[in-house]
Amino acid sequence: MTSCSWKKAVSSMRFWGKNKALTVAGYMLATSLVGIPSMSWAASHGSVETIAGMWLVQHRDGIFKVAPCNVGDSQLCGWLVGMDYTEREPEKDVTGRSECNSEIIIGMNARADGYWHGKIRNPRTGHVYQAIMWLSDKDTLKLKGYIGVPLFGKTQTWTRTLQPAIGEQCRMQGHS
């Protein structure tokens, strides 16, 4: 897998073990002064139905399923359902269970401005952080994890994927 330029700076915060490019909280928690963009489109299109779906992460080495946390629920959650890995089995979380199908995005609640506020869990450490997500257009999801103030978080851009190729144990097909 390829290495990211920020990897050394946030190595203690990355989710998926050594030499893994896929991160959620680690990448998003690297400090930056990135503000949250205008939400005029998202404010009118940030419903459960428009955000629910399969999302390819920024570095194209993971796929998340975003859906209601429970049947009929207005909260959204996200599960890691596809991973690009070369080992025989996917990485294990802090409890020793497979990260395959683990809930990473927790209890996102819609706000009137189109933002969803909730939490994100680092499966490698079990730490839980504040998070915000929103749609910048119908096929682009922005996800920001942070500690304290959203201004000091880092945003990841995810792309909707309609037909993800995922095999056994969440292995992304067509990847190493």
pLDDT in tens, 84-113: 998 888 989 999 999 999 999 999 999 988
> Which residue from 114, 95, 106, 86 is spatially nearest to 25, judged by alpha carbons?
106
How far is Cα of residue 37 from the mean position of the Cα atoms in its chain?
19
Structural domains for the chain? 25-149+156-162 (2.40.128.520)
Take residue 148 and report the two structure tokens written for it.
């304290």
pLDDT of residue 73: 84
Take residue 57 and report the two structure tokens written for it.
């992460």
Q: Is the pLDDT confidence value at 117 over 60?
A: yes
More confident residue, 150 or 159: 159
pLDDT of residue 97: 94
Take residue 35 and report the two structure tokens written for it.
């503000």
pLDDT of residue 45: 56
pLDDT in tens, 33-70: 233 444 444 444 567 888 999 999 999 999 999 999 99
Take residue 123 and report the two structure tokens written for it.
């499966």
Q: Is the pLDDT confidence value at 2 over 80?
A: no
Q: Is 90 within 8 Å of 172 (Cβ atoms)? A: no
CA dist 15 and 115 (Å) reads: 24
CA dist 83 and 43 (Å) reads: 31
